[in-house]
Amino acid sequence: MCPKMNVQFLSILLISTIFTIPIFATPTPNTYPSRFLKHKTTQNENNSSTSPPQYYFEVTQPLPTSPLTPSCTLPLFNHNFSNTYGQPPITIPYSPPKNCAWTHATLQFTSACKGNQYDRISAVWLGGVELLRTSTAEPTDDGIFWKVEKDVTKYYSLLVQENITLAVMLENIVDDVFTGVYQVNVSFIYFSVHQRRSSSRKVKKTGRKFLENGKGFSDDNGVVLENGLSDSSSSSSDLYVQPADLIIPVSGREEEGFWFRIESELDKKLKRISIPRNTYKTVLELYVSFHGNDEFWYKNPPNSYIISNNLITQRGNGAYREVFVTVDGKLVGSVVPFPVIFTGGINPLFWEPVVGIGAFNLPTYDIDLTPFLSFLLDGEMHSIGLGVADGISFWLVDANLHIWLDPFSEEVQAGYFENEVPSFEIERSAEFDGLNGEFEVEIERTMEFSGWVNSSFGNFTTYVKHELEFESNIEIKKDGNKETIEQEVTDKIEVKLTSSSGSTISEYKVEKEYALEIETTTTKGANGTYTMTTSLDNSYEEETNSSELKNRQKASGWMLVEGNEVLDGQSNMNQEYSYKGNSICYSREVSTANGTLLTDNNNLLCLSSY
């Protein structure tokens, strides 16, 4: 992360704004852009100043705190992001509210924008720890606004700290063409769930045990002290039944916005950290987004196709990517990220006023590193590495290392068991004749790790099994004017805790399935314009022992494009969302057409806050 890279990135950006104009004016097949600006699509100039700004949203479920009255609210951050490209994040000091009893907290990120602007990536960090990765909606001349709410209780140990820095990054470009300034507010809202709970933190030192169901801890009287995060909307939250005692950021320099900018597979980022010797559990939480030539990595053909057809595009390297994590050089986990489509992506008309799955609150990925504690508990510095297999420029990746400490012991002992050697298989095939072809990638990865930790709670073994399957198929026909993308990811994770007698203390299983299909046909029009007709089906499913989430968007439509600008078009989008958990059962169905919300039906079958 040296300044050189910024310069390098800037030059790529200049190339894409200056030199691509002639390219897009007469686009050659397979160099059609995938990111667009929806410029004054269907608006009447006279009407534009009179229509009120439109509310945009991402379909999600109510937070478990939503029925509660906040104990207090902390409006903290208010900034207009105009020409912020290449600049450090905006920072402000944070301290928790005084005279306010609270046990849970949510982060509220609101934004408004008016004019002409691309979607931008943004993030919020507290003390260098990332709390939210979000992207902006592309504005209209009438203006738009939106609100993102996230349960941040798992960052409790940070939220109670005084005088730490809240940082918000949003790199925007404002000039004569791109006029949209993003106004951003960030607030924290605090809730008190059970009076018992706030006092339970003091009980902490007097003794607690694992509950047999693995759902938390009890005090000496068997009262459940910490419970209830299992219904927070964040993924894999069962790993955070109780917030960590300490969170160490695995992130870069503040001046560059903390996230690591990863430009290639070789561009692996390392962070040296040292963890307390009484750590008995640790989970790495990954934040990931993809941009530039890899924003649509799942559509990228192999380089052989690009070279043999003399294409100018740099969006290549095939359609497989995997974000990997190492500890002292050893591979400890990996993730194929869910393909979040930002609001300028594929067809921007699909994403108004309901944005793509994850666009306002990008999914995070948890890797339980407890089996590796024996390598980390020596009080020495160790390096955590983050990289992107097959990645090209650029990815924004960082992570938070959540750490749970033994309150009764200065030191715990840990050991590592040798397991089956991790297996990885990849098969690629590329068949093409000129611009027509078919490309396939399939991977299968299995990793099993286990280790024991002897703490005051006992000697427990953590067993982690991770099975990942990835399949991608790209078909290009009609001399590059018809493209069909199919991608499927299945990710199974099992985390099992057993006592030294062999009995199971807790077992957590999560199975995620992402399926994406995009079909686009392009026809050339007059004066370098072209019409793209697209159908899209993108779904995110997540099933754990105690919850089931299904979220699926289907969209279709066409658009008339000049350069990257959408001149006209029409669209339909339908989204079905359902969630069943211990305390929330929720379903919602929305449909939109031509930028208008047509239906929005939701059904809250059950909701009991914590």
Ligand X SMILES: *[C@@H]1O[C@H](CO)[C@@H](O)[C@H](O)[C@H]1NC(C)=O
Per the CB < 8 A criterion, the answer to whether 538 and 516 are in contact is yes
206-210-213 Cα angle (round to 5)? 145
Please identify, using beta-carbon distances, which residue of 80 and 304 lies nearer to ligand X. 80
From the CB of 548, what's the least distance to ligand X, in Å? 13
Shortest spacing between CB 495 and ligand X, in angstroms: 10
Q: What is the DSSP letter of 7?
A: H
CB of residue 414 to ligand X, shortest distance in Å: 9
Q: Are the beta carbons of 534 and 518 closer than 8 angstroms?
A: yes
Nearer to ligand X, 45 or 418 (CB): 45
Tokens of 537: 């089906």
> Nearer to ligand X by C-beta: 408 or 432?
408
- Phi and psi dihedrals of 374, rounded to 5? -60, -25
The residue from 179, 326, 383, 413 that contacts ligand X (CB under 6 A) is: 413
User: Which segment (20-28, 83-91, 107-115, 260-268) binds ligand X by CB under 6 A?
Assistant: 107-115
Tell me how far apart the alpha carbons of residues 217 and 456 are, in angstroms, rounded to a whole number: 13
Kindly indicate which of the ranges 248-256, 375-383, 455-463, 573-581 contains the residues binding ligand X, using the contact rule CB under 6 A: 455-463
Between 86 and 214, CB nearer to ligand X = 214
Tokens in use for 45? 């100039």
Give the Cα-Cα-Cα angle 330, 332, 336 (nearest 5 degrees): 125
- Residue 183 found at the interface with ligand X (CB under 6 A): yes
**CA angle (422, 425, 429) in 5-degree steps:** 165
Give the binding-site size for ligand X (rule: CB under 6 A): 36
Please say whether the beta carbons of 482 and 517 come within 8 A: no
Q: Which is nearer to ligand X, 183 or 304 (CB)?
A: 183
Tell me 253's DSSP state. -
Rg (CA), the chain: 24
Sole binder of ligand X in the list 78, 423, 429, 523 (CB under 6 A): 78
What are residue 53's DSSP bridge partners?
none
Q: Site residues for ligand X, window 214-273 (CB under 6 A)?
A: 214
* Interactions with ligand X, residue window 555-594 (CB under 6 A): 570, 593-594
Segment near ligand X (CB under 6 A); pick from 75-83, 295-303, 350-358, 359-367: 75-83
Cα–Cα distance for residue pair 326/422, rounded to 1 Å: 14
Residues in contact with 280: Cβ distance below 8 Å, sequence separation at least 6, in sequence order: 370, 373, 404, 405, 406, 412, 453, 455, 457
- CB of 490 or CB of 529, closer to ligand X: 529
Strand partners, 78: 185
Q: Which of 34, 111, 538, 564 binds ligand X (CB under 6 A)?
A: 111
Smallest distance from ligand X to CB 591, Å: 9
| CA angle, 154 then 122 then 189, to 5° | 40
Cβ–Cβ < 8 Å for 568, 575: no
Cβ atoms of 448 and 420 within 8 Å: the answer is: yes
Quick check: 184 and 109 in contact, CB under 8 A? yes
Give the residue with the Cβ less far from ligand X, 506 or 538.
506
Write out the binding residues for ligand X, residues 492-551 only, by CB under 6 A.
Answer: 500, 506-507, 526-527, 545-546
- The whole-angstrom separation of Cα 162 and Cα 165 is 9
456 touches ligand X by CB under 6 A = yes
Q: Which of residues 115-174 bind ligand X (CB under 6 A)?
A: 145, 162-163
Shortest Cβ 185–ligand X spacing (Å)? 4
**Single-letter code of the amino acid located at 223:** V
How far apart (Å, rounded) are the C-alpha atoms in residues 372 and 370? 5
Contact flag: residue 279 with ligand X (CB under 6 A): no
220 DSSP β-pair partners: none
Q: How far is the CB of 370 from ligand X (least distance, A)?
A: 13
Token reading at 322: 């995997």
Binds ligand X (CB under 6 A): choice among 11, 26, 47, 599: 47
Q: Which stretch binds ligand X (CB under 6 A): 45-53, 99-107, 246-254, 348-356?
A: 45-53
In this chain, which of 11, 26, 44, 603 binds ligand X, going by CB under 6 A? 44
Q: Which of 73-81, 221-229, 349-357, 512-520 is the region at the interface with ligand X (rule: CB under 6 A)? A: 73-81
Applying CB under 6 A, among 17, 198, 264, 454 the residue interacting with ligand X is 454
Among 185, 192, 521, 574, binds ligand X (CB under 6 A): 185
Is 198 one of the binding residues for ligand X (CB under 6 A)?
A: no
Kindly write out the interface string for residues 356-395 of this chain, putting x where it contacts ligand X by CB under 6 A and - elsewhere.
----------------------------------------
Record the tokens describing residue 407, joined without a space: 């309150």
The binder of ligand X chosen from 74, 112, 121, 248 (CB under 6 A): 112
Q: Provide the strand spans (E) within 192-346.
A: 209-210, 217-218, 224-226, 246-250, 260-264, 269-273, 279-290, 322-327, 330-335
Q: Of the candidates 36, 106, 118, which has an alpha carbon nearest to the alpha carbon of residue 73? A: 106
**Window of 78-86, 167-175, 246-254, 361-369 that interacts with ligand X by CB under 6 A:** 78-86
Decide: is 609 part of the binding site for ligand X (CB under 6 A). Answer: no
- Assess contact for 133 and 150: CB atoms under 8 A: no
Binding site for ligand X (CB under 6 A): 44-47, 50, 78-80, 110-112, 145, 162-163, 183, 185, 213-214, 409, 413, 415, 452, 454, 456, 459, 461, 500, 506-507, 526-527, 545-546, 570, 593-594
